[in-house]
Amino acid sequence: MSDRNGVRSIDVGAPPTRFARGWHCLGLAAPFRDSGPHAVEAFGTKLVVFADASGELHVLDAYCRHMGGDLTRGTIKGSSIACPFHDWHWGGDGKCTKIPYARRVPPTARTRSWLTLEQNQQLFVWSDPQGNMPPANVTIPRIEGAYSDDWSNWTWDTLTVDANCREVVDNVVDMAHFFYIHFAFPTYFRNVLEGHIAAQYQKTRSRPDYEPDPGRSGGGQSGRGQSGSGQSGGGQSGASTQIGLVSEAAYYGPSYMIDYLNYDYHGVPMDAVLINCHYPVTPERFVLQWGVIVKKLPGLSPEQADKVAAKFAKFVGLGFQQDVDIWTHKSRIDNPLLCAEDGPVYQLRRWYEQFYLDVEDIPADMVARHEFEIDTSRAVEAWEAEVAANLAARQGASQPVPSESGVG
């Protein structure tokens, strides 16, 4: 990777032409039930989303197999979507249910229907180039707060990004960007990658040299934070110092992350759940989405709780916008040059690759458990003193050992 002068080149690679296998969130479910059919541009094509007579949501390819008409510009009739071109009716399972001007529906009249799931008040579709059903253990977990009156309603925001969606997934292991971009001070950062799940555990505190705006936070996938208002007399100890954040986040599959957050809001502990998810439009474009619910503080009305959630969502959005500024101006890089304090980028990309391979072709090491941790609360001086004491107690230097050791 380095030339004869030691200069290293960027391997730009190429985005995969197939799309990730997995559940993808298309948005909050309720708006898809409003009025007529809805259009979603995703997976290199266009989808039509519509509610049948019982309110169940269905997703079909938007382009009618008759003469290519756009079903998203059609009409829901009973439990079918009728094409605006020649009024062919298509049911939620993809079968043509009626052609008003014809005696018979041709036996091959079937279009692609996408398997759907509603969970957490959100609509998901299953994407799989191999056309298989999802395994039982590959699903979207239930978020109890999404069903509870003790929590606010969801905010929901979207942003179309002209980049390959791997850019947002890379962030799950990027501890350094929380420090430099969020002005967060991670004291603990851990990843566990295993199976179809990629988890991130994080504790941050306010930087001693920077007092963030109370109520802001960064966790999970958040991007660049505002440099904005700090406390006056910055650096003084007071009620607002040591604002801590605890974040436990995980991708369940290639595109949907749930981030459980606990942080200080004006000195009061707050619980929030942040969804960071996306779906691909093309290999070079994706739609990024984020949603927030917050647990109601005692005495807050539902409207006030929704306002708190909206304020937090706006802050998260500012962060994501700054990430987007990076992604839309950077080069794709398949051979990142890492330092010893970087997160496990190659292991994360190896985990992510599983969604782009046929199920039978996934090697064992791609889904094997990998753990990475940086814990800055471990004081170096105290550790070094303990090592010296141990060595002195053994009355001799340790033997040289290879840099990776089998343990246990």
Partner 1 sequence: MVLAAKFSVQHTSVQWDATAVRQCAEFARRTAVGEQTPLIERCGAMRASIDAAALDGRLPVAPPWLG
Residues that bind partner 1 (CB under 8 A): 137, 190, 192-197, 199, 201, 250, 339-341, 344, 364-365, 368-376, 378, 380, 383-384, 386-387, 390-391, 394, 397-398, 400-408
**301 close to 293: Cβ distance less than 8 angstroms:** no
∠ Cα 325 327 331 (to 5°): 125
What is the residue whose two structure tokens read 């390959």? 164
Nearer to partner 1, 67 or 391 (CB): 391
Q: Which is nearer to partner 1, 105 or 197 (CB)?
A: 197
Shortest distance, CB of residue 8 to partner 1, whole angstroms? 14
Nearer to partner 1 (CB atom), residue 78 or residue 180:
180
CB of 401 to partner 1, least distance (A): 6
CB of 39 to partner 1, least distance (A): 35
Cβ 89 vs Cβ 105: under 8 Å? no
Within a 13 Å sphere around the CA of 83, how many CA atoms are in the beta-carbon half?
24
Q: How far is CA 131 from CA 60, 197, 387, in A?
A: 14, 21, 56
Q: Which is nearer to partner 1, 199 or 357 (CB)?
A: 199
Q: Which is nearer to partner 1, 12 or 337 (CB)?
A: 337
Q: For residue 316, give the 3-state DSSP assignment.
A: helix
> What are 265's two structure tokens?
């809001």
| CB of 200 vs partner 1, minimal distance in Å | 11
CB closer to partner 1, 47 vs 193: 193
Cβ contact 30:36 at 8 Å:
no
Buried b (16+ CB within 10 A) or exposed e, 297-313: eeeeeeeebbebbbbbb
Nearest-approach distance from CB 252 to partner 1, in angstroms: 9
Minimum Å distance from CB 202 to partner 1? 12
